[in-house]
Structure 1
Amino acid sequence: MNQEKITINDIARLAGVSKRTVSRVINQSPKVGEQTKIKVEKIIEQYNYVPDKQARGLASSRSYLLGLVYDNPDALYIDDIQRGILEFCSQKGYELVVHPCRYKSPDLNNNVVNFVRRSKLDGIVLLPPASEVDSLADVLDQNSIPYVRLVSGFSEASENFVMSNDRHAAAEMAKYITSLNHQKIAMITGPLNYRSSRERFEGFSNTMQEMGQPLAADLVVEGTNQYESGIEQGRHLLTLENRPTAIFANNDEMASGVIKAAHDLGIKIPDELSVCGFDDNLLASRIIPALTTIKRPVREMAKFAANKLIAKIEGGNPQAISQNCVVHPEIVIRESAGSANKV
């Protein structure tokens, strides 16, 4: 049989069931017996059958479209999120529509609801900082729009969240940098109105305080999470009279900017300066020297979000909806950090 032209009627004939039964299996209806469901799914997999999305949508009153809402300047992070969602949702026959927004806009809530309605979306994934806006979540609830929020930190409402323990990871980075005998340690935070930035800053600074090495006020500066901000704030820190010997940046984009600033100033890494980041995006392992950073499993988070969102939309997998999805970022040691004894 020509697999490229196989139809739902062919699947029904091969399985010895009705077309309606095949449609119910595809749409994960609870009205199909387990043995029949397994039999039909095996044939679908064997022949690599992909349901026609338009026909599916008409049959189930769904569009099989998910939305991704973000206000984040880190293009590599956004790309990783998209790839993670698509890896999961393409197996389920869903497509992804992306929508940049301005999370500080007074029209954010209406903008997102209109995007969902205009694009006829079945549900949306919210990325920080838009995911941190509680009033947006309230409006989505009021309009019965399924959503999942990616956030740093924790929430009791696990059905709506995929969470990353950034605070603990930043604390571990503080311990690692001090283990290298650095005394003059600086941090370039992200925008502190972002929850993720606050989680990382507080995890790092509180741990430094607990270890008896509180961060000096003049060695904490706020960045924008962009590469250019890393250059600007890195140059500022590195031209101080009592410049730091180690800098922890809120993300890899800014850490890379710090490395650029150090290079321009003739400061050798890691001999004269240690630089560390957060995210472990594609850039981190490719710059010279390769960046010591915190690896956050972004694609894993994206897959968790897609699984939870589709479960909410289809209503057939309560365990996926209620699953407490928390990831734990870990330090990746590379060449950009070294002992302060060299300085």
Structure 2
Amino acid sequence: MKHEADPEDAEPSSSTQVAGGEAILRGKATINDVARLAKVSKKTVSRVINESPFVKQKTRDAIKAVIAELGFTPDPQARALARRKSFLVGLVYDNPSPQYVVNIQRGILDALEGTDFQLVLHPCDRSKPDHVARIQSFIQQHKPFGLILPPSVSEDEPLALALNEADVDYVRIASVELDTPSRMIRTLDGDGGAAAGRHLADLGHRHIAHIHGPLSFRSTHERRAGFERALAETGLVLRPEMAVEGGYTFEGGVVAAEHLLAQPNPPQAIFAGNDEMATGAYVAVRRAGFRIPEDISIVGFDDTPIAGRLWPALTTVRLPIREMGSAAATLLLQTADGMTAKKLITFSPEIIVRGSTAAPEAP
């Protein structure tokens, strides 16, 4: 005898009904199906898929519920093809300070966490005449979603022009305003240099030297200009022989400090344009038999991890490099998502006083 099947014994449905009675097989749904069921635009679904932060949580939850119900799985290759770009964010840099690059990298990774985007590094050499062509080749090969350009690559106007002509999204990090707010993170390096100058002058130092970075970096000029501005406030002048280039490197800091200490009248204090050079200055000062800070005070710039590990710990100007990298990556994703930044994102430095600075000892 034939028995009718009990409805409760039936296999679970592998399809979902949509308006009009259309059945969608689980795992065969398209982004259009998700949008139709969630009653939102295809663009909104795409934003949720791409982990855009610019979708209301209620809408995001509804879309994700539909995606789960349909078993919809976005195809990364198809998404990249639709964009004609990959899901790679390129960090293009030419910076002699490895710690600066590492901190920028960590900040970018903070912003990309939880998304499908990956970071790819592309070191370059701006001194080579074909460096723009090399970056263009990198873009053609990897088709990055966008680029993040820290100093000094950010200051390269021919590169910015080439990226604009190629319709490549990018964000520049620089000490001066070089671009529109949607493509720019500004750091007030001049204010940091001024903070260093005021700190040393307020301690009572009158014979102060400066070890600066490469002249090809705008940050070098901004930090020095701020430093000299602060000295002038108290009637002091940075004498030409007291300003030496250190190239933003540890080795450069050693050589520059040795040059300063070999002068007939060595400085009471040194402001180094970054922590790498300040660390080099420590070595030169101690080799010459001077004490820090009793004989010579030293101030750095950036507040990289080495600053707190030196003895005595280094007084330095803190620039939130990791946060800058995160902000640049977030701005890049926002711009690609159709968001237009109207206000320039700016980071202000602050001086962190530690043990490497003190008032000069009485003669």
Normalising by structure 2, we get a TM-score of: 0.82
Shift of 1:62: 3.5
Separation in 2, partners of 1:338, 1:41: 59
Separation in 2, partners of 1:43, 1:300: 35
Between Structure 1 and Structure 2, the one with more helix by share is 1
Question: What does residue 351 of structure 2 align with?
Answer: 331
- For 2:116, which of 87, 93, 96 is the aligned residue? 93
- Which letter maps to 1:121? P
Shift of 1:302: 0.7
- Which letter maps to 1:312? T
**Secondary structure of the equivalent of 1:285?**
helix
**Secondary structure of the equivalent of 1:163?**
strand
8 Å Cα contact 2:151-2:174 kept in structure 1: yes
8 Å Cα contact 2:38-2:66 kept in structure 1: no
8 Å Cα contact 2:51-2:115 kept in structure 1: no
Separation in 2, partners of 1:43, 1:128: 44
8 Å Cα contact 2:88-2:119 kept in structure 1: yes
Separation in 2, partners of 1:157, 1:127: 16
Separation in 1, partners of 2:57, 2:293: 59
- Which letter maps to 1:249? A
Question: What does residue 25 of structure 1 align with?
Answer: 48
8 Å Cα contact 2:208-2:268 kept in structure 1: yes
- Which letter maps to 2:191? H
Q: How has the CA–CA distance of structure 1 residues 268 and 35 changed in structure 2, closer, same or farther, with 3 Å as cutoff?
A: closer
Question: What does residue 161 of structure 1 align with?
Answer: 184
> Max radius of gyration: which structure?
2
Q: How has the CA–CA distance of structure 1 residues 77 and 156 changed in structure 2, closer, same or farther, with 3 Å as cutoff?
A: closer
Percentage identity across paired residues of the two chains: 38
- For 1:274, which of 297, 303, 309 is the aligned residue? 297
**Secondary structure of the equivalent of 2:133?**
helix
**Secondary structure of the equivalent of 1:212?**
coil
Separation in 2, partners of 1:142, 1:93: 27
Structure 1 residues 237-276: aligned runs within 5 Å: 237-276=260-299
Separation in 2, partners of 1:292, 1:166: 16
Separation in 2, partners of 1:328, 1:33: 31
Deviation string for 1:263-318 (max 9, x for gaps)? 11111101111000000001111111110000001111111110111122232x23
8 Å Cα contact 1:150-1:305 kept in structure 2: yes
Q: How has the CA–CA distance of structure 1 residues 23 and 234 changed in structure 2, closer, same or farther, with 3 Å as cutoff?
A: same
Shift of 1:58: 4.3
Shift of 1:206: 2.4
Shift of 1:60: 4.7
Separation in 2, partners of 1:55, 1:145: 19
- Which letter maps to 2:212? T
Normalising by structure 1, we get a TM-score of: 0.86
- For 1:203, which of 226, 235, 249 is the aligned residue? 226
Separation in 2, partners of 1:279, 1:22: 41
- For 1:313, which of 329, 332, 336 is the aligned residue? 336
Separation in 1, partners of 2:108, 2:197: 32
2:197 aligned with 1:174, yes or no? yes
- For 1:184, which of 207, 211, 214 is the aligned residue? 207
